[in-house]
Copies of this chain bind each other. A is one copy, B any other.
């Protein structure tokens, strides 16, 4: 778990530590529309390997961004959901969404 002492002084860097990579942002994007199963995430995150997806999900769980719920079924069922802290990343996500849209428009004529 990230403890408070090793968070960098600049809050932007804190954010980067916790979701400063492509896959984490896309996981948040997918979970913002609701709880998802492992397999659904994998399908949606085009091209991510199982190992890498698992690693990111574990890290995000550790940092309190998502919760993991295992159902005692066969075949197994595992659901991932954003915590409140994770939900609050919506603002960051939306800013990125808007910027990306605007950038695309600029490139079109």
Contacts and interface: CB of A to CB of B under 8 A. Distances in A.
CB-based closest 3 A-B pairs: A11-B100, A14-B100, A95-B95
The count of identical subunits is 2
Contact of A97 (B4, B15, B20, B108): B15
B12 A25 contact: yes
A7 interface: yes
Interface residues of A, number: 38
Contact of A104 (B14, B92, B93, B107): B14
Interface stretch (A52-60, A73-81, A83-91): A83-91
Interface of A: 2-4, 7, 10-16, 18, 20-22, 25-26, 29, 85, 88-89, 91-104, 106-108
